[in-house]
Amino acid sequence: MDISVQDVTSVDKEVVLKAKREDLQDKFDSAYKKIKGQIALPGFRPGKVPLGLVKKRFGKEIEYEEINKYVQEVFEKEVVPKYEPVGETQMVDLQWEDDELEVTFKIGSKPEFELEELSKIKVNKMVHDVTDEEVEEEMQRTLDREGNWVEKEKGKATEKSRLIVDVVSLDENGDVIEGQVDEDQQIDLRQEGAAEFREELVGKKAGDVVDMELGEGEETDRFRVTIKKVEEMDAAELSDELIKRQSNGEAENEDQFKSYLKSRIQEYYDQSADDLFKNDVVDALVEKHTFDIPEVFINQIQNSYVEQFKQQYGKQLPESFDEEEYKSGMTERAIREGRWYFISQKLQETFEDIEIKPEDIDEFIAMEAARYGASVDQMKQYYAKNPNLLEQLRSSIRENKVFDKLQDVVKIKEISKDKYRELQDEKANK
């Protein structure tokens, strides 16, 4: 048996395993002996089938099965300890000809790099204190959700109206495309994404027909909107019963309800700011650290994206889905995720005082239980039955502790919600 390793890149290696029949013969003989005792063929008593016949009928399958076991065994004992592959190893080729075996693998190795000075990493962090105006707006949304839409028989649409419409697609000449009709569609003009509809439909009434265009160039959609109803919201009244129901019993009057809403909105912004900070600090660190990622590791991440996409479509990809094209389009994202993985590992090594305590696991499980509507005991039993998920849980806790440490060492500039959104828009438009 012979193993040779060639560096393809700084992080990609090609491993070639060569062996001869004599290296495998003991395994073949043992396999033949075992299966000979199990095979029953017409004309022979069980276990008495001649070995020559067994080899003739089943030899190829038996030997290939033993070859695969041998290759796996050699890889685990000889390659893994010495080269510590990262990512999913790829078997490129396997040849078994003239009693000689040659197997080629692609493996990845851990990138070598040094962390940049963390105190020089600059990250913006959104900070927002909820205003009384936002509380009033949320209260109005609550009353709207509890209210009812009422038809305005002769009234014109306002920016606060909801329209019931029929929509028919048009071609470039403005002619109706047969069979492309959506009836009784709802257009809520209050929504942020309805700006173009507000521009065209405010002031219209039931019975009006409006031709519209959305998009530009080849992406232009043309359609005809026939307004069937104009509705206005008849909001619910603020009552003690509504307050108790909407606050899960935590508030009993209007002032308490406002405090309740303010705390919930603040929790939302604080959590959003935390999530956005994590994303931005990852971007900043990835940008500062340029190193190669093993190809097999990138492929593994891309495959996980395909699997996630599949889950969204009921565990089966659409017939028109081009997997290779999709993975190619996700390459940059996969490289970013791959770089962050190795940076995170390096940070965990750097922050030597990171420790996962039993209470950290209990806290995490309690949050997961609340998220999925399960009891803490049910969630603990779930993780106990799934060791891989438990390790993922521990990994998530370690990474959260890394982010906690980063908040103390990177240079953070606190900015307002509006300024943060402005900078994000500028970044997206670059």
Q: Which of 329, 344, 340, 349 is nearest to 290 (CA)?
A: 340
Q: Is 335 exposed, middle or buried (0-12, 13-18, 19+ CB in 10 A)?
A: middle
Residues in contact with 113: Cβ distance below 8 Å, sequence separation at least 6, in sequence order? 289, 291, 342, 346
Which pLDDT score is estimated for 374? 87
Specify the length of the chain in residues.
Answer: 430
CA distances from 350 to 84, 116, 118 (A): 21, 12, 11
CA distance 73 to 78: 8
For the chain, the first-to-last Cα distance in angstroms comes to 55
Which pLDDT score is estimated for 418? 94
Pairing mode of beta strands 122-126, 411-415: parallel
Cα three-residue angle 251-252-254, rounded to 5 degrees: 85
Which pLDDT score is estimated for 387? 79
Which pLDDT score is estimated for 8? 95
Buried b (16+ CB within 10 A) or exposed e, 141-155: ebbbeeeebeebeee
Token pair, residue 346, equals 């390096």
CA distance 134 to 104: 62
CA distance 353 to 278: 20
List of domains in the chain: 2-108 (3.30.70.1050), 148-234 (3.10.50.40), 252-428 (1.10.3120.10)
CA distance 363 to 368: 9
**Which H or E run includes 152?**
none
Tens digit of pLDDT at every position of the chain (430 positions):
899 999 999 999 999 999 999 999 999 888 888 877 767 676 666 666 777 777 777 788 888 999 999 999 999 999 999 999 998 999 999 999 999 999 999 999 999 999 999 999 999 999 999 999 999 999 999 999 999 999 988 889 999 999 999 999 999 888 999 888 999 999 999 998 899 999 999 999 999 999 999 887 777 889 999 999 999 999 999 999 999 999 999 999 999 999 999 999 999 999 999 999 999 999 999 999 999 999 999 999 999 999 999 988 888 888 889 999 999 999 999 999 999 999 999 999 998 888 888 888 888 888 888 888 888 899 888 888 887 888 888 888 999 999 999 999 999 999 999 999 999 988 888 7
Which pLDDT score is estimated for 307? 92
CA distance 126 to 43: 82
Letter for the amino acid at 430? K
Q: Are 189 and 162 in contact (CB under 8 A)?
A: yes
Cα radius of gyration rounded to whole Å, the chain? 32
CA distance 127 to 83: 46
Alpha carbon 416 to chain centroid, angstroms:
28
Provide the whole-model pTM: 0.78
